[in-house]
Structures are given as structure tokens and as C-alpha cells.
Amino acid sequence: MRLDVRKTYKLFIGGKFPRSESGRTYELNDHQGKFLANVAQASRKDARDAVVAARAAQSGWASASAYNRGQILYRIAEMLEARREQFVAEIRAMTGVSSSKANAEVDAAIDSWVWHAGWSDKIDSVAGSMNPVAGPYFNISTNQPTGVVAILAPQDSALVGLVNSIAPAIVSGNTVVVVASEGLPLSAITLTEVLATSDLPGGVVNMLTGSAKEIGPWLASHQDVNAIDLEGAHSPVELEISAAETIKRVIRANSFSRGDSRGSLQHILALMEVKTVWHPKGH
Amino acid sequence: MFEYSPAPESRSLVSFETSYGHFIGGKFTKPSNLYKTINPATEEVLAEISHGTDKDVDAAVKAARHAYEKVWSKLPGSERGKYLYRIARIIQERGRELAVAETLNNGKPIKETRDFDIPTVAAWFFYYAGWADKLDYAGLGANPKAHGVAAQVIPWNFPLMMLAWKVAPALAAGNTVVLKPAESTPLTALLFADICQQAELPEGVVNIITGYGDTGAALVKHPDVNKVAFTGSTDVGRVIAKAVAGSDKKVTLELGGKAANIVFDDAPLDQAVEGIINGIFFNQGHVCCAGSRLLVQESIQDEFLKKLKRRMEQLRVGDPMDKNTDIGAINSKAQLEKIDALVRQGVAEGGELWAPQCELPRNGFWFRPSLITGVSPANTVAREEIFGPVLSVMTFRTPAEAVTKANNTPFGLSAGIWTEKGSRILKLADQLNAGVVWANTFNQFDPTSPFGGFKESGYGREGGRHGLLAYLKGGN
């Protein structure tokens, strides 16, 4: 009989897979209480490192063409489809759902990447505008990514909720620091392995596992984070107050549905800034 | 000038069947009623092609109708989109093969098919794939509907790219299609049929019927067609518009052009020279939006023409399969004769012809890149579309005169402006009667950007959100 080789579940920061600098892990059991993995428990320092990585990657990712970003998001769907068995197995181990239910969740996650991929080069065609101002001016409004987005991922979703939190942020050129569901972290780390093989530049998505309760406040108050998604927050009101200090854009919990095979344009736009350009016309 | 060693692309990247039938209901029919398709650079026969009859057209429309009713209109947009993504990916995977096939059958340089045509084709499918599940955002309100069966007739100048411009938005919007490629350039469309099979696109969603103008006419006139999309000459556009008069068929037409490329004295001249060269000699000038009228400000005419001629002398004309070639073969003998006749008329009417003395291959159809100076707005070469590598040169003094001369044409497809002054660009862009205006660049195309003409250059747009509207009607 051959002994299987187990995977070490680590963090994902700047395109690399480090352990937590704190050296901490927490024990994750399956739905029947049997040991599954020792998951890295990210610290404040890990969160700050992740913000640095996200900031470093942001301008490059935002200046990639929309076509290029769209192809990379579609590539993520391709890679996810190719590794569906692994996701199904992890979701079932963590939650105990049936195979068909786990498969349906993976289906929705894949299709949502495809749905979001298609938006990259259409956002401005739908939500931008040429403004007929009264003077002799050319006046155009476009949408630009907000910058670095902190995401406290939904606690009750292993994959689809996570995808529907990350995709609407990165499709437009934001980079993200994600705190995965504390109780359902395995598919989050496996998702980063998909991201790492999809031509997504390192640092665009940074994944922390551990306690959103512990890390969330550091991200909410961080000076170099532009927006925070509080879907999986433990004390959302406190975090929203903290985020107000730096005028962060805040997505409150339950603002958008995250269980479907498609997202919401409003969610994408909530993480973008409108920029209006004026230029005179005349010979 | 530098000497270049031959750098031919490999012919073996593509193989054609000896003969092709039509692609109807997901299968190729038995080849019949055959004619030869050639390589215009060598006159070598590449394959034999079926000349479609009324009966073939009817079978194709029936297959498209069946696929629309039974399969395609019932699929959710997200699933239609996934088929289009598959097609986009296969085109990327088979890109070099398609580029070689296109160059062999069309005569355009491999540099262009490899770096422009085929990447644009893939991008077009990728872009419209993303629209298929977002039609509520197209601008017609919630739940817009497809028309049904689209009849699409395309020209020979960008064979596969024109197919993509037609097929991708039509399928994304939920229509099924019958497409007729040009008689002289059917091969990449037939390879596209194979791509549809690899993508497992449901049978009958895309049907390809080959043949001459009579085949296209039968397709456009077929009573069970809901939508007609045509790219080609203004003359044929008129015939089509008349043929569908009084019917319920929706029509979009992308027709001829006679674009003005306007160069002001403050333009960055070297950059402008490159743009003018690209504007008229790209694809041998077989481009409906080609910058075929140069309007240069009088004060810089001599200096500018000197630079332009020097640049034209560097153009490499010859084997389209050579990676260094700038200008390939004219697509057909008929087109070569048409270009030649118009240029002769231009000279007879007082124009002065200039062309660099480059050596031309012995077989095939060739025309030197040419300038005609001393042209007045009333001359034939200032009014009629030559559709070849021939630039007519005129001058102007003021911006207002430039606008008047640029707009002095029944066409209105595109225009170019060269000046460092932003406010002038934007003012002129407002005043030019053209569907596309390029400033300090020319011949730019992108799937996100609408393209199409004013006036006798046609109606409807291809590309972008606007391109989708041609294939949708408002729902409720």
C-alpha cells in the first residue's frame, strides 16, 4: 500500500506561497470532525505584506488592456474547469454536501469567471458616457479601478461566494487582499493555485487564511487600502466606522448576491471611480 | 536601401481539399458546379469550389431556420457565449494556419494576416462571446430578441475578418447565419466551417455557401431570411436595398469609401508619412476605409511629398508569403484591370502619376504603389473608389477648406486628421461627415469600437455595443 502525499496549505502573497510569518496554523477538521489540514493562520504582518504586494501589482494590472484582462479571467475559468474534481472533493470534505451539489457550486464558480471575463472590455461601453456639455468642449467620462481592495470573503461559501467577491474587483484592474472563509479555507488556497497558473500577474490576488475577526480591523484601517468588502466581517459596523477614517469605499454585507453563476455590474462599478476629461474644440 | 534575403513562411502549414461543397447543417455537401479558386500571387489553383444554386441557398436557409427554432434560440446566452469563446480559442490555436491560408487565397502579405487579420478575428469572437449573456445591457432595454436567420454576404479584402465581424455579433445576439464569402476568397471561410465542427457548434447555426454574385443575390432575396448584412461595393449595396424594399428584413450595409487624410502644417510629418502610407497601401489599398485622398496643407506640400516618395521607394512589393513583404498581390485580374483603367483616366484628366521603380513578379496580379498629383476635386480619381494602392493628392489652405473638400464626396466612411493641435482635431471631427475619424493614426480597428459609414458608405455599425444592435430588436 502506498501512502499519499498531502498538500501543505499556505498563504498566497505576491504570486508566492509563503507560510504565515507568525508561524501559526489552525486545525481544520472535515464535516465529521476528522483532521483535514493545518491551515496557515495569517497575522497582521501578513496582511500588511499582502497590501504591499497588491499595491505593487496594481498599476501594471490596471494598465493591461481590457482584452488581456478578459482573456486572463477566461483562462482562470479554463483552469478551474480542468481541476474541478479537486474542488468537488475539497468542498465535500469541508461541508459534507452531495457530489451533485458540490459540482453545481463548481459549475457556478466557473461560469461566473466567464461572465466576469466578458465585462472587462464592456464596462465603459455600458457605464461610460460622452457628455453633451453646453460649451465647445469634448467631455467624456470613463471608469477606472479604485486601487487596492480588501475583501473579507463570505464565511458560508467554499468557492462560489469567494469567486463572486474576487472577480468583480479584479476584472476592472483592482488588486485584492482576501481573507478566506475561516471554516472553509481549502478551496480558497486551491483557487490560488488556479490563479497562479492562469497568467494572472503575481500580487493581483493575495489570499490570507485565518481569522477575519483578527485581520479585518487592520485592513479596514490600513492607509493604503482603497476599498473594503465587508461580506464576511464579524463586526461590520465597527469596520465601516474604521474605514471611514480614510474614506474607503465600503461594500456592506449582503449588498450583492454571491451564489450565482453571474455577478452584478453594480458590484463591479462599486469598485471603480468615474473620471471625466474635458478638452476644448476649435480650429 | 537594405537588401533583404527571402524569408518565406512555410506553405505546408495549411492543406486544402481538392474540392469543397457547401457547409450546410453542420456537414459539407458533395462538391458540385465547380469553379477554381487561385492564389493571386502565382495564379496557382488552390482548390475547386462549389457555385451555389437557388436550391443550395434554400437548403442552407432551411438548416439555419431549423437550428434557430430548435436549438439556438432556446439556449441561454451564457451557453451561446461559451461556444463563441471556444471558437475564439480555436482561432488563436490555429492562427498561423489561417494566416497562411488567407495569404495564399487573398494575396495580402503574411505580415498582415499573421499580425492583424487573424488576431483581430480571434479578438472579435472573444469580445462578442462576452456579450451573449449581457444583452440586457446592449441599450434596447431588458430582454432584447434576435431577428432569426441572418443572411451575410462578405467581400474578398479581409475574408476571415469580415466573416468574424458578421458571424460573431449575430451568434452572440442569438441569430443563426448563412454566410456567403466572396467568390475569389472562400478558403478561410471553409476552414472556419471546420473550426465550428471542432467547437461542436450545433448543426445549422453557421452555414456557409460559396459562389458568385448570383448566389449572394439568391440568399439576400430568400423569403425566410430575417436580416441581411452586406459588406461590399456601393453599387451592390443599392441593389440589395432595392431587393429588400417592402419586406420585413432588417438591413445593414458597409459599402465603399473615399476617405480624406488631412495633413496640417503643424503635424509631426514623419509620423504623418507613416500614417498616410499605412492608410493607402495597407492591404494593397483594398480597404473600404482607405485614406485614398491625401489633403495636404499647401505650405508643406513639397516637403511632404518628398518625404512620402522617399518612403514609398522603401516599400517592398512581391511574394506575399515573404515575411518582409509590405505590398502583396492584387486580389484578382478583374480588380487589377479596374485599378489600371481608373489610373489611366486620372492621367487623361490631367493628373500626374508617380510610382517607385520596383520589380514585379511575372505571374500573378500586381500594381505598384502609386501617387497621382495635380488632382482636382472634380477628377475621377478624386471621386471614385479605386480600391487599390493609388493615392490621389490635393491641397488646401484653411481648416474650413479642408472640411469642405473632405466632405465633397457621396461617401462617408472614414477620415484622417494629422495635427498637433487637440482642439482642432475635435472640431474637425465634429465637422467631417464620416463614420470613423482617426486623428494622428489611421486604419485602427478594435472589436470594442463601432465601424461604419455615413451617406453612401452604408448604414449600421459593426463592432462594439453598437454592432450588437444590428442583430437585436427591443424586447418587452
ipTM of the complex: 0.96
In a domain, A69, yes or no: yes
CB hemisphere CA count around B381 (13 angstroms): 33
Question: Which of A2, A12, A9 has its CA nearest to residue A178?
Answer: A12
Task: Give the residue among B185, B194, B221 at the shortest CA–CA distance from B54.
Answer: B221
Taking the Cβ of residue B404 and every Cβ of chain A, the question of whether any pair is shorter than 8 Å is answered with: no
DSSP β-bridge partners for residue B417: B262, B439
In a domain, A2, yes or no: no
Active-site annotation holds for B254: yes
Architecture of domain B260-439: 3-Layer(aba) Sandwich (3.40)
pLDDT at B120 over 70: yes
Amino acid identity for residue A128 in this structure: G
Answer yes or no: is pLDDT of B475 > 80: no
Write the secondary structure of chain B as one string of H (helix), E (strand) and C (coil). Answer: CCCCCCCECCHHHCCCCCEECCEECCEECCCCCEEEEECCCCCCEEEEEECCCHHHHHHHHHHHHHHHHHCHHHCCHHHHHHHHHHHHHHHHHCHHHHHHHHHHHHCCCHHHHHHHHHHHHHHHHHHHHCCCCCHHHCCCCCCCEECCEEEEECCCCCHHHHHHHHHHHHHHHCCEEEEECCCCCCHHHHHHHHHHHHCCCCCCCEEECCCCHHHHHHHHHCCCCCEEEEECCHHHHHHHHHHCCCCCCEEEEECCCCCEEEECCCCCHHHHHHHHHHHHHHHHHCCCCCCCEEEEEHHHHHHHHHHHHHHHCCCCECCCCECCCCECCCCCHHHHHHHHHHHHHHHHCCCEEECCCCCCCCCCCCCCCEEEECCCCCCHHHHCCCCCCEEEEEEECCHHHHHHHHHCCCCCCEEEEECCCHHHHHHHHHHCCCCEEEECCCCCCCCCCCECCCHHHEECCECHHHHHHCCEECCC
Confidence check: pLDDT of B443 > 70: yes
Indicate if the pLDDT at residue B3 is higher than 90: no
Write down the pLDDT at residue B476.
Answer: 62
Assess A125–B contact: CB distance below 8 Å, yes or no: yes
Q: Provide the mean pLDDT of chain B.
A: 97
Q: Which residues of A touch B132 (CB under 8 A)?
A: 118
Percent pLDDT > 70 in chain B is 99
Q: Is the pLDDT of residue B376 over 80?
A: yes
The answer to whether residue A117 sits within a structural domain is: yes
Task: Give the pLDDT confidence score for residue A1 in this predicted structure.
Answer: 87
| CATH, range B11-255+455-473 | 3.40.605.10
Range of the domain at A102: 25-280
Please tell me the total count of domains within chain A: 1
The answer as to whether A20 is a domain residue is: no
In chain B, residues with a C-beta closer than 8 Å to the C-beta of A283 are 399-400, 423-424, 427-428
Mean pLDDT of B235-256: 97
For A113-151, b/e burial (b = at least 16 CB within 10 A) is: bbbbbbbbbbbbbbbeeeeeeeeebbeeeebebbbbbbb
Say how many Å lie between the first and final Cα of chain B, rounded.
Answer: 64
- Chain A nearest-CA distance from B261, in A, is 17
Chain A CB contacts of B426 under 8 Å are 138, 279-281
Helix A84-95 with A186-196: angle, nearest 10 deg: 170
Cross-chain residue pair A279–B426, CB shorter than 8 Å: yes
pLDDT, residue B378, reads 95
Domain ranges of chain B: 11-255+455-473, 260-439
> What tens-digit pLDDT sequence spans chain A (283 residues)?
899 999 999 999 999 999 999 999 999 999 999 999 999 999 999 999 999 999 999 999 999 999 999 999 999 999 999 999 999 999 999 999 999 999 999 999 999 999 999 999 999 999 999 999 999 999 999 999 999 999 999 999 999 999 999 999 999 999 999 999 999 999 999 999 999 999 999 999 999 999 999 999 999 999 999 999 999 999 999 999 999 999 999 999 999 999 999 999 999 999 999 999 999 999 8
Question: Could you tell me if residue A74 is inside a domain?
Answer: yes
Domain assignment present for A6 = no
Find the helix packing angle between B118-129 and B77-93, rounded to 10°. Answer: 160
Query: Taking CB atoms and an 8 Å limit, are B126 and A119 in contact across chains?
Result: no
CB neighbour burial string for B138-164, b if at least 16 within 10 angstroms, e if fewer = bebeeebbbbbbbbbbbbbbbbbbbbb
Catalytic residue among B9, B102, B288, B289: B288
**Residue B246 neighbours by CB distance under 10 Å:** 7
Q: Indicate the burial class of B458 (C-beta count within 10 angstroms; 0-12, 13-18, 19 or more).
A: buried
Q: Min CA distance, B399 vs chain A (Å)?
A: 7
Q: Look at residue A158 and tell me if it is in a domain.
A: yes
Domain-located, residue A18: no
Residue B1 has pLDDT above 60, yes or no: no
Is residue B288 part of the annotated active site? The answer reads yes
CATH code, A102: 3.40.605.10
